[in-house]
Chain A
Amino acid sequence: MSSNMRASTPLTTHTAAGGLRSVLLRPSRIVVFLALGLAAAALMYPFAFMILTSFRSKAQYLGGSGFAIVSWGILFHGVPVVREMFNSFLLCIASIFVILMIAAPAGFSLAKTSFPGKRLVFIGIVGSMLIPLQSYIIPEYVNFARVHLINTYLGAILVYVAIGTPFSVFLMTTYFRGIPDELVDAGLCDGLKHLGVFRRIAFPLATPAIATLIVLRFIPVWNDFLVGLLFLQEPANRPFTVGLGVLASSQLVNVPALMAGSLLSTIPAAITYVAFQRYLVAGLTLGSVQ
């Protein structure tokens, strides 16, 4: 079906930037604009609530008027925010780095080399994408407890790596399959070994796939709660989301301070999402819809 569509493209000029545009008349465009505005406002409303509430004291929040900065102070005094943010960033950077270091070579191997049992290895790694975290987290937790990895950064990073590896290998394999075999052959003829071809030719070419991978892995690790809750239980090493969860379930909930924290936790992920939308979709729909 897609080849049909593509074949017909040269016959028409690309005047219509968007498909439905041409079908719509001017007044209906205003209606569409208003509808989008309404939807955007509704979706943004919780953010307005977070921002407004965070700039109120507890009394002002309950009373519904007035503004103050005091709640941000309470947040920073009550919870080790800076420490927790640092932990979250550290966990993101370390786990993404490890995933890259193992997924890129694996992708090259599965796309461009041949070895006995390759198909099985591919199915084993990529098929593990189907295993939900909750199905293996209990044995994982007990195993890690046995080797004293609970409450260590390393333990949590390993779990994040385990969660991210199958999809990342799939992404890198698909990307490397798109690189012409002639490039690999040329490198081999120039006297490079396969490892050299990977390091000097394929890896530098994979920058777009690596960018996609970084964006796609950053958000789930930054937003993770369950892994942090179980594998990093101490205030000194827990990620920001776990700190927020603890703050929310404490006896004397300070809603404005909680909203300040929520807002702070959302900013890095929101910026990433908006700035790198195209990587997001490219990665999400990879192989599944084409």
Chain B
Amino acid sequence: MVASKSPSGRATRGRFHHAANRGLRLDGSRAGLILVSPALVVVLLLLIIPIGEAFYYSMTNWNGITAHWVGPKTYVTVFSDPTFWRVLENNALMLIAVPATMFCGVVLAALLHVRVRGWRIFRGAIIIPTAVSWVVLGVVGHQAFAQKGLINGGLSAIGLGALRLDWLASPLGAIAAVGITFVYSLVGINTLIFVTGMSTIDPAIYEAARLDGARWGRTFFQLTLPLLQRYLLFAFVVTAISAFSAVFSLIYTMTGGGPNFGTTTIEFFIYQKAFGTGSFGEGALLGIVLFAILFGLTLIQFRLTRGET
């Protein structure tokens, strides 16, 4: 949208340039600066300077009050710490939840798109979990996955008692529990994105497919999914970024990062390092690593979307 609007915008501005006198144009320039300056000050003081500080402090042994310069070798120290790789592994495991969430979202969106009676009510029910805060999800999730919790109770009730598992007691079970809760939370927003995407598809295309005698499955895989490409990519980036940088409070209330670092993802690790053990420098460094990862993800999305147009 931004790209498509700018040529016409430039043309109008050119016309305006001819018509208006010099005084007006200067006023526009000064007014523009005045209007943008509060936002600029906020971004500079509260985002750009702090991220610069984080970068500087990442190469020191900062404890929040004093900092001694150590140099880039702080990165070597962190990268050779097995716990760091353990934490990244947890992040990788969390990434499995991303396609799972998208899959559920596509399926639910396709079902909603049929527009059966009462579909709006179903849409509401599907979207509500997204509104629940991670704190509440963590609190409820902790109860649900406990040994005598909802999940195990449900398994027993449907005769699958053999599958009962003390989820939160083992690292793998705990990260699976966090992952399932993550899917639960983000399925709504994914569905909403795909519903929006599907509603942009012209019904005439489906009409044509029907006249050609195409079955539902074929229509879905050969028409709907390819036309949703951009929405799929967008949902992937939104969901993946959430998996990396939005589940702190879920982990805090559900597992506390354990057992044995089993659910400590990088964002939780940052908090632990800085505010748990007072290693502000190392926390800042991990923050820079997180920034780099998310920057890379966004860059991929940007490349893919621009490459198409």
A158 to B46, CA, bound (A): 8
Within 8 A of A (CB), among B206-246: 206-207, 209-210, 214-216, 219-220, 224, 227, 230-231, 234, 238, 241, 244-245
User: CB of A185 within 8 A of chain B?
Assistant: yes
> Is B131's CB under 8 angstroms from A273's CB?
yes
A45 to B214, CA, bound (A): 37
- Known contacts A115-B32, A140-B50, A225-B252; A18 and B115 CB within 8 A of each other: yes
- Known contacts A113-B31, A174-B2; A281 and B284 CB within 8 A of each other: no
In the assembled complex, which residues on chain A have CB atoms less than 8 Å from the CB atom of B53? 136, 139, 143
Chain B interface residue bracket vs A:
35 or more
In the assembled complex, which residues on chain A have CB atoms less than 8 Å from the CB atom of B140? 46, 49-50, 259, 262
In the assembled complex, which residues on chain B have CB atoms less than 8 Å from the CB atom of A125? 36, 39-40, 43
> Is A36's CB under 8 angstroms from B35's CB?
no
In the assembled complex, which residues on chain A have CB atoms less than 8 Å from the CB atom of B88? none
Chain B interface main SS type: helix
A53 to B115, CA, bound (A): 34
Within 8 A of A (CB), among B25-61: 25, 27-36, 38-40, 42-44, 46-51, 53-54, 57
> Is A166's CB under 8 angstroms from B204's CB?
no
In the assembled complex, which residues on chain B have CB atoms less than 8 Å from the CB atom of A20? 110, 113-114, 206, 216, 219-220, 224
* Smallest beta-carbon distance A6→chain B, Å: 8
- Known contacts A134-B287, A226-B248; A43 and B184 CB within 8 A of each other: yes
A15 to B202, CA, bound (A): 12
User: CB of B134 within 8 A of chain A?
Assistant: yes
> Is A287's CB under 8 angstroms from B116's CB?
no
> Is A136's CB under 8 angstroms from B136's CB?
no
Q: Of B115, B132, B184, which is within 8 A of A266 by CB?
A: B132
User: CB of A159 within 8 A of chain B?
Assistant: yes
> Is A37's CB under 8 angstroms from B122's CB?
yes
> Is B131's CB under 8 angstroms from A219's CB?
yes
A182 to B150, CA, bound (A): 61
- The interface bits of chain A over 262-290 (1 if a CB of B lies within 8 angstroms of the residue's CB, else 0) are 10011001101110010011001111111
A133 to B200, CA, bound (A): 33
In the assembled complex, which residues on chain A have CB atoms less than 8 Å from the CB atom of B295? 130
A182 to B2, CA, bound (A): 19
Q: Of A21, A102, A244, which is within 8 A of B42 by CB?
A: A102
* Binding stretch for chain A, among B69-77, B160-168, B188-196: B188-196
A23 to B214, CA, bound (A): 8
> Is A185's CB under 8 angstroms from B47's CB?
no
The count of A-to-B residue pairs whose CB atoms sit within 8 angstroms is 356
* Smallest beta-carbon distance B194→chain A, Å: 10
Q: Of B48, B192, B245, which is within 8 A of A133 by CB?
A: B245
A169 to B307, CA, bound (A): 26
Within 8 A of A (CB), among B136-153: 136, 138-140, 142-144, 150
Q: Of B135, B139, B142, B230, which is within 8 A of A223 by CB?
A: B135
* Smallest beta-carbon distance A189→chain B, Å: 9
Chain A interface residue bracket vs B:
35 or more
> Is A139's CB under 8 angstroms from B54's CB?
yes
- The interface bits of chain A over 178-202 (1 if a CB of B lies within 8 angstroms of the residue's CB, else 0) are 1001100100100001110010000
> Is A136's CB under 8 angstroms from B50's CB?
yes
| Residue ID in chain B nearest A270 by CB atoms | B131
| Residue ID in chain A nearest B244 by CB atoms | A132
In the assembled complex, which residues on chain A have CB atoms less than 8 Å from the CB atom of B79? none
> Is A12's CB under 8 angstroms from B207's CB?
yes
> Is A113's CB under 8 angstroms from B128's CB?
no
> Is A258's CB under 8 angstroms from B210's CB?
no
> Is A138's CB under 8 angstroms from B270's CB?
yes
In the assembled complex, which residues on chain B have CB atoms less than 8 Å from the CB atom of A223? 131-135
> Is A16's CB under 8 angstroms from B203's CB?
yes
> Is B201's CB under 8 angstroms from A139's CB?
no
| Residue ID in chain B nearest A111 by CB atoms | B9
> Is A269's CB under 8 angstroms from B115's CB?
no
Question: Top 9 A-B pairs ranked by shortest CB distance?
Answer: A113-B32, A194-B31, A223-B133, A225-B249, A162-B46, A106-B39, A18-B115, A135-B287, A109-B35
Chain B residues within 8 Å of A, Cβ to Cβ? 1-2, 5, 9, 12-13, 16, 19-20, 24-25, 27-36, 38-40, 42-44, 46-51, 53-54, 57, 64, 108, 110-119, 121-136, 138-140, 142-144, 150, 184, 187-189, 192-193, 195-198, 200-207, 209-210, 214-216, 219-220, 224, 227, 230-231, 234, 238, 241, 244-245, 248-249, 252-253, 256, 266-267, 270-271, 274-275, 280, 283-284, 287-288, 290-291, 294-295, 298, 305
Q: List 28 A-B contacts (CB under 8 A).
A: A15-B203, A18-B113, A19-B113, A19-B198, A19-B202, A20-B110, A23-B206, A23-B210, A28-B216, A36-B112, A40-B121, A46-B129, A49-B143, A113-B32, A115-B32, A162-B46, A194-B27, A225-B249, A229-B252, A241-B135, A244-B135, A245-B249, A248-B253, A262-B136, A266-B136, A270-B131, A273-B128, A274-B127
For the complex with contacts A22-B203, A128-B43, 20 further pairs of A-B residues with Cβ separation under 8 Å are A17-B203, A19-B113, A19-B206, A20-B206, A28-B216, A35-B111, A40-B125, A106-B39, A109-B31, A113-B29, A124-B40, A134-B266, A135-B291, A139-B51, A162-B43, A177-B5, A244-B139, A269-B133, A280-B192, A281-B193
